[in-house]
Amino acid sequence: MSSENKTVAYWIELSEYDLNVAGSLSEKGHYLYMGFMCHQSVEKMLKAVYVAKFNAVPPYIHKLDKLIELTGLKDVMSEDQYDLIDELIPLNIQARYPAYKDVIYKLIDDIKAKDILVKTGALISWLKEHTA
């Protein structure tokens, strides 16, 4: 396995691990951190796409919209996929600065959390196709 393939595999493994953690957090009702881990999962899969596409170290950024732009995926993403990105972006910030956790708890109930998790899983699968 080439070093590029190892690096892509590394990012994919981290992404899938984070998605599994998000599922566990959702089951326990920890929706703030579930959203954060969904964000992390997407971020890491976008970095896998970046490495696969450019054979370069991905940028040290957390902004999903910027990573999508850098990977060239913005033009091929569906509106639903980009809507999910818009939902995930603030969850990264809110989890890092939990002063807003009460607002998130009011916005994300069990049904919304499951929706975010399912959509994130589908997005991860779609992004993974772009690493091949």
DSSP 67-129: HHHHHT-TTTS-HHHHHHHHHHHHHHHHHHSGGGHHHHHHH--HHHHHHHHHHHHHHHHHHHH
Q: Tell me which DSSP letter residue 28 carries.
A: T
Tell me the per-residue pLDDT of 17-71, one tens digit each, with 9 for 90 and over.
Answer: 999 999 999 999 998 889 999 999 999 999 999 999 999 999 999 999 999 999 9
29 three-state secondary structure: coil
Residues 25, 33 contacting (CB under 8 angstroms): yes
pTM (2 d.p.): 0.92
Domains and CATH numbers, the chain: 3-129 (1.20.120.330)
